[in-house]
Structure 1
């Protein structure tokens, strides 16, 4: 698509993260929400009424619409391959919420299909679009701190899932914490280092309850072909529930860049815990930037972010982390870029 009309977007799956995409679309002029679809017809209808868009019963109905140019998929990870395949085969551009797929093979198949059809395939590694993540990347890429040798990324927060029945807590559906949340951190580490890791070692704990089938606290250690390394720490078991902490550090041969808080200057201790906001209140701008990038790529105006190869590698690293988590062993990846 390269005409001047707004990109017509459908959202499949209206729970959780879909709300952030909808808010971003409301703030944009180059893309608009035309319809939603969800297995829960009542929930989809309520969302459609709120958003002032159409609602469809089935994915096939969405893909039969002439006004749908692109689809954002916000469904459980297990469904990504089948839904993504249907979207791409219909000739629509695709923004898949991370991860791209549950397995490396499925991710590669989606990437190949998008390339074959000449379609934009973006993956929602939204942290690439935050001002602070881009600032760290720009400093490292400029050479100001020399060659990057070590990175530490910490994203710790409280419980965000709705209950014990949440699909994220079932590794057969989510792929585990490495795949569902850990990909944010490992993707940033590889992006900042400028290379993909060739060794992965992971350790985790079920902090909230021993009954959990996933590790809601996870540390992933990455080794890179250059000899550099990274430590990625991600938790969803903090107390109080609304606690949030974000820390970035990259050590180079000539200096260090670090970010200790994700919202320096605006912090509030409330009854529920510590709350933080960006100084300009622009937290939602991450999704606006992500969708603007996606729309521009769909129009043929810019390259997709992140590159599809990086999104596939993010799945590969996460799969290695889950393997390490369950075997207790370091996993070596041959041929890392």
Structure 2
């Protein structure tokens, strides 16, 4: 059985711990958080250790993998420490706040000959996998226009409110919109045009509402909308629309029945049922299965780097490599 450590006892650390608890091929032996009491509060129900330092956990156990669920600005240090100790790594999105940090983590993985996966969870959701298949097979013809959206009330749930501090989270573009930027890259490749319109509220510091326009060879237009400016209590909303030569495919809070994709052609509408599964459990199952079998991850570190590069290009089209 593989032994692992989760670094970070916040919402995502708890989510990942619950997913590992359902597995018989892996055991989380420790939760690491600089707030050791917070880590202990999370571990009590599972009967596992809580520590304040990752280095201590790596010394105390023979660790096969480390799952990093820290604020984005802390990813590099934890990831490189784990890799250099000989552990494989799963790290939450966004991969990094900068291309320099992403490159340092990729270099560390290559040097240590350890495996590194970035947790872009949307790739493990069946609606996005069906979308990917539709684009790749062109079963509805060539793609013409793709749009996606992700709207949330202003975050108020993060440790020390780090999500609303752009220096720690990268802001709405890097923290929230990167989900759909990665999906667009997965579908269409490397963008060659980047335009961003970002609106902030004078009443809120940090979050924003933004629309990104991306150009890819072979498709007319791609637009991505994201917001952390929705009022308190606004239901989280996400969705997409793909317009093709022979129809459209839609999913979201209003485009289809719950658990369904809506497909529209000249022959009419049909609802495509999708199996509702916990995407975090599917993501972690994939990570563990690939470690065991040696198969390639569904997302490579360089694909995750491309998402960070896409953000950098949107912010400064002329200043990024």
With the shorter chain as reference, the TM-score category is 0.7 to 0.9
Higher relative contact order (CA 8 A, sep 6+): 1
Superposition map of 1:118-129 within 5 A: 118-129=113-124
Query: Which whole-Å CA distance do the structure 1 matches of 2:164 and 2:9 have between them?
Result: 19
8 Å contact from structure 1 (residues 154, 233) kept in 2? yes
3-state secondary structure, aligned to 2:186: helix
Gapped regions of structure 2 (runs ≥ 5)? 260-272
Match of 1:230 in 2: 222
1:127-178 CA-to-partner distances (Å, cap 9, x unmatched) read 1101111111111112212232321001112233327941111111112221
Superposition map of 1:63-74 within 5 A: 63-74=58-69
TM-score (normalizing by structure 2): 0.88
3-state secondary structure, aligned to 2:60: coil
Specify whether residues 262 and 123 from structure 1 end up closer, same or farther in structure 2 by C-alpha distance, changes over 3 A only: farther
Specify whether residues 191 and 163 from structure 1 end up closer, same or farther in structure 2 by C-alpha distance, changes over 3 A only: closer
3-state secondary structure, aligned to 2:253: coil
**Which of 266, 283, 298 is 1:290 aligned to?**
283
Shift, 1:262, TM fit: 7.7
Match of 1:138 in 2: 133
Match of 1:321 in 2: 314
**Which of 90, 112, 116 is 1:95 aligned to?**
90
Gapped regions of structure 1 (runs ≥ 5)? 268-278, 324-329
**Which of 27, 46, 49 is 2:44 aligned to?**
49
1:238-274 CA-to-partner distances (Å, cap 9, x unmatched) read 235241222211223343222243895459xxxxxxx
Specify whether residues 174 and 69 from structure 1 end up closer, same or farther in structure 2 by C-alpha distance, changes over 3 A only: same
**Which of 167, 192, 198 is 1:198 aligned to?**
192
- Computed over aligned residues only, the root mean square deviation of the Cα atoms, in angstroms, reads 2.5
Specify whether residues 213 and 239 from structure 1 end up closer, same or farther in structure 2 by C-alpha distance, changes over 3 A only: closer
3-state secondary structure, aligned to 2:163: helix
Aligned residues: 308
8 Å contact from structure 1 (residues 202, 221) kept in 2? yes
**Which of 204, 210, 221 is 1:218 aligned to?**
210
8 Å contact from structure 2 (residues 150, 177) kept in 1? no
3-state secondary structure, aligned to 1:223: strand
Query: Which whole-Å CA distance do the structure 2 matches of 1:99 and 1:260 have between them?
Result: 23
Specify whether residues 151 and 331 from structure 1 end up closer, same or farther in structure 2 by C-alpha distance, changes over 3 A only: farther
TM-score (normalizing by structure 1): 0.84
**Structure in which a larger fraction of residues adopt strand:** 2
Superposition map of 1:1-337 within 5 A: 5=1, 7-162=2-157, 165-193=160-188, 195-207=189-201, 210-215=203-208, 217-226=209-218, 228-261=220-253, 264-265=256-257, 282=276, 285-323=278-316
Specify whether residues 48 and 164 from structure 1 end up closer, same or farther in structure 2 by C-alpha distance, changes over 3 A only: closer
